[in-house]
Amino acid sequence: MIFIIISLILFLDQLTKILASKLLVLNQSSALIKGILSLSLVHNRGAAFGVLKGQVWLFTFSAFFALALIYIELKKDKKGRPFVYRLALALVAAGALGNLIDRILFGYVIDFLDFHIWPVFNIADSSVTIGALLLGYSIFRLKNK
């Protein structure tokens, strides 16, 4: 089940990035819901919010390291781990893989979802964020049982 979740998110992430790259013009916005949601093609050469621009090697190494740790954790006894915990790791892994693919292929991450109150992001970023929140929640629940 975890492999299916990772595969599905990775597929959606890469598909939406391909579509955004083909259908949008770099650094220009196209409103979907005026004032709320636009599609804006951005090539992010940094981390979240564009920090540490140009540090592709650092992000690549960090992604490989995180993926290795997640793989080790997911290979442990599944019966002792709540599904939410494993789901959280899968979401983080899928997002890390999606953005890692971009960095390796292009040297930047393709972002396109623009809510105007937040930096432009993509499906992989959303997956990592939701996964991190779920991971925090599940660890908190495990420690308070």
Give me the active site residues, please.
111, 125
- The two structure tokens encoding residue 46: 């940094």
Q: Residue 67: which domain range? A: 2-143
- Between CA 87 and CA 140 the distance in angstroms is 15
Res 72 pLDDT > 80: yes
Tens digits of residue pLDDT in 34-46: 999 999 999 998 7
Tens digits of residue pLDDT in 75-92: 886 667 889 999 999 999
**Number of structural domains found in the chain:** 1
- The two structure tokens encoding residue 73: 């954790």
Q: What is the pLDDT of residue 98?
A: 97
Q: Which amino acid belongs to residue 122?
A: N
In degrees rounded to 5, what are phi and psi of residue 44? -90, 110
Q: Which amino acid belongs to residue 55?
A: Q
Residues with Cβ within 8 Å of 127's Cβ and at least 6 positions away in sequence, in order, are: 9, 13, 91, 92, 94, 95, 98
Res 48 pLDDT > 70: no
Contact 41, 110 (CB under 8 A): yes
- Between CA 118 and CA 98 the distance in angstroms is 20
